Amino acid sequence: MLTRIEIQKIEPFAEGASFGDTGAYERVIGMAHGEIDPDDPANEGIALLDKAPRNARGRVEYATDIFILRPRDAARGNGRILYEVNNRGRKMLFGNIADGPQGVNDPRTAADAGNGFPLRLGYTIVWSGWDPDAPRANMGLGLTAPIATDDGRPIVQTVREEFVSGTRAGVLEAFRLSHEAATLDPYRARLTVRERAADPPQELPTGDWAFLDSRTIRLRDGLKPTPGFLYEFTYAAKNPKVQGLGFAATRDVVSWLRHDPRGAEATGGRIAHALAIGFSQAGRYLRHHIGAGFNRDEQGRTVFDGVLSHIAGVGRIFFNVPFGQPARTNTQHEDHGFPENAFPFSTATLEDPLTGRTGSLFRGDGSDPRLIETNTSTEYWQKGASLLHTDPLGMKDIALPAHSRVYMIAGTQHGGRAGATSDPGPNRNPRNPHNPMPAVRALLVALDAWVASGTAPPPSRVPSLGDGTLVEPDRTGFPPIPGVAVVTVTNQVAPPGDWVHPQPAERAYRTLVCRVDADGNEIAGIRLPDIAVPLATYTGWNEYKPPYPAGELADRDGSYLPFAPDAAAREKTGDPRPAIAERHADRAAYVARVRAVVEQLQKDRLLLQEDADRYFERARQEARLKP
């Protein structure tokens, strides 16, 4: 439970700018202090809690950063918290759901809030820290958690880490360790390199690398990491933090703001409901939060009434275990041997023939939230998203509980958002710029109505075995487009093994993807206008190109393959897809088709009016069609 919230600063947001009917907002910055009883059954799942130092009351203490944007006039807000789980300490809400700028961790201006979508809805937006090692620079959000010991002696364990330069982490000059090295003796550690996870690792001579300090190593002068290659470091680590306190901290902060009379000092007024949203790692955190029982506070009350998890696939996080590494994310090429995906995957209660277990992501104890899970096409290729709505062996469709929905947003890539470019980066095909956020915005509104008034959201929209739209990755029916790299394998999802000394999995779950039409666009899920009335092919997959490991499934990127402008250009390249001019007589015909799709999406409650207007305007300005 929290013991107090220390409010350090209250100040106007965006110089008092007004956001719709809600009006002006304020920034509230502070620190929440808490302690938990290790003997309380609500905390029994926290790893290393029994080895944490205790205060005079026998409790384990923690502290977490908090950042709140609240309506200046609480009466003009909607009385609901929208809690965004941070992603590696970063606030991503405005850069995603509000089409705002990326990388703004200290929002101060109206421009930082993008289109202001969640503010115009009147939410009290709350962030707090959960990861003890998340960067706190530039208003990053972290957790202060104690170090576990063995009766006062340091805990030491062999740990494996993986580093890749030039992909998701950018170009690396040094490798930052997740934990403190127990010794700086290079002969008690091992650094290897390989091109692909299936290749035998090649050990680098001790003279080719060195410790810079107990948390950093680097290659010797004159050596740089080969782009895309897998560098693995195995070493003795010490002083693990009690990471699982992050789950308790999230639980306790939100419970305090909802139920403690002193919570109004931070929120500005009474809170009736709490919703949570998370993107990527943060979405996986929310799935873990639910499955591990932290959506119930120490008094037995529900924490989040509704949860929207975006681009999490079936994952959880490598967290709440001794020497966990929550920043890791398992893909076909990177971090492949690290735990992330573990049964149960779905909210339906199922049997797992690989482990012999029976279970559901939901607890069934009254604490389960109303849950909406949205995924892009990439999560079907990289994150096993089909297992959300099939049995573990992918043999049959399953019915989800009434308080659960799953949606695939067709033709989108992981992390897709407004303003994305088609620059190929390290990939063979151009990246996919298709923005899934119009659908996510509509589904957040639907979740809010579900929580606040009991209005059920639209039915799940996913590819299925029953109608033939869910298929093996080599049977999608993708057209033979000249010069295009085509992916035909998915990332393997298997029961977790030994992450320090990983071995190839003996058995794996069967993960499937969506069938495509003659253009290569997916035929199921939520088909936004870019897919329903296409001017290009959009996929959730891509491949690396040299000097990166050629043919490997690109980390989180899809592909963008524009149609030829006319028949002559199409015939010159041998493109089997009809050209733009062959599809639409003129811009007016194109606008009419877009309008029909948009109006149906609105009727189905999968698109808001403001996004409908944006689609209409974009169609009217489409330069690839003659007036």
Helix (H), strand (E), coil (C) string for 429-446: CCCCCCCCHHHHHHHHHH
Is residue 257 domain-shared with residue 216, that is, in the same domain? no
Average per-residue pLDDT in the chain? 97
Is residue 205 domain-shared with residue 248, that is, in the same domain? no
Return the CATH number at 443.
Answer: 3.40.50.1820
> Is 346 among the domain residues?
yes
Is residue 225 domain-shared with residue 285, that is, in the same domain? no
Residues linked to residue 25 through DSSP beta bridges, in sequence order: 71
Query: 400: which residues sit within 8 A by CB, 6+ positions away?
Result: 346, 347, 348, 389, 406, 460
Is residue 224 domain-shared with residue 359, that is, in the same domain? no
- DSSP labels, 99-141: ---TT-SS--STGGGTT-HHHHTT-EEEEE---TTS--GGG--
Give the DSSP H or E segment for 250: helix 245-259
User: What does the radius of gyration of the chain's CA atoms come to, in whole angstroms?
Assistant: 25
> Is 593 among the domain residues?
no
pLDDT 10s digits, 255-281 = 999 999 999 999 999 999 999 999 999
The whole domain housing 195 covers 156-238
- Asked whether the predicted pLDDT for residue 169 surpasses 90, the reply is no
> Is 344 among the domain residues?
yes
Is residue 231 domain-shared with residue 296, that is, in the same domain? no
- Asked whether the predicted pLDDT for residue 100 surpasses 90, the reply is yes
> Is 527 among the domain residues?
no
> Is 544 among the domain residues?
no
Region for 79 from its dihedrals, namely left if φ exceeds 0, alpha if ψ lies in -120 to 50, beta otherwise: left
> Considering its fold, how many domains does the chain have in total?
2
Is residue 256 domain-shared with residue 220, that is, in the same domain? no
Is residue 126 domain-shared with residue 260, that is, in the same domain? yes
Give the DSSP H or E segment for 34: strand 25-36
> Is 42 among the domain residues?
yes
Is residue 326 domain-shared with residue 221, that is, in the same domain? no
Q: Is 381 helix (H, G, I), strand (E, B) or coil?
A: helix
- Cβ–Cβ under 8 Å, residues 114 and 14: no
Q: What is the mean pLDDT of residues 337-345?
A: 95
pLDDT at 459: 98
> Is 44 among the domain residues?
yes
Q: Considering the chain, what percentage of its residues have pLDDT values greater than 70?
A: 100
Q: What is the mean pLDDT of residues 372-390?
A: 98
pLDDT 10s digits, 507-557 = 999 999 999 999 999 999 999 999 999 999 999 999 999 999 999 999 999
- Cβ–Cβ under 8 Å, residues 345 and 317: no
The pLDDT confidence band at residue 421, using thresholds 50, 70 and 90, is very high
pLDDT 10s digits, 431-451 = 999 999 999 999 999 999 999
Instruction: Report pTM.
Output: 0.97
Domain boundary among 392, 427, 453: 453
Is residue 210 domain-shared with residue 341, that is, in the same domain? no
Distance CA(230)–CA(160), nearest Å, equals 12
Domain boundary among 197, 213, 238: 238
Q: Which of 49, 26, 57, 137 is nearest to 90 (CA)?
A: 137
Is residue 60 domain-shared with residue 23, that is, in the same domain? yes
Q: What is the mean pLDDT of residues 415-436?
A: 95
- Cβ–Cβ under 8 Å, residues 487 and 543: yes
Q: What is the mean pLDDT of residues 49-59?
A: 97
Q: What is the mean pLDDT of residues 71-87?
A: 98
Residue 112 φ then ψ, to 5°: -60, -25
CB count within 10 Å of CB 181 equals 22
Distance CA(135)–CA(598), nearest Å, equals 41
- Asked whether the predicted pLDDT for residue 26 surpasses 90, the reply is yes
Is residue 117 domain-shared with residue 138, that is, in the same domain? yes
pLDDT 10s digits, 112-129 = 999 999 999 999 999 999
Distance CA(336)–CA(163), nearest Å, equals 12
Is residue 231 domain-shared with residue 261, that is, in the same domain? no
Domain boundary among 238, 262, 292: 238
> Is 575 among the domain residues?
no
pLDDT at 64: 98
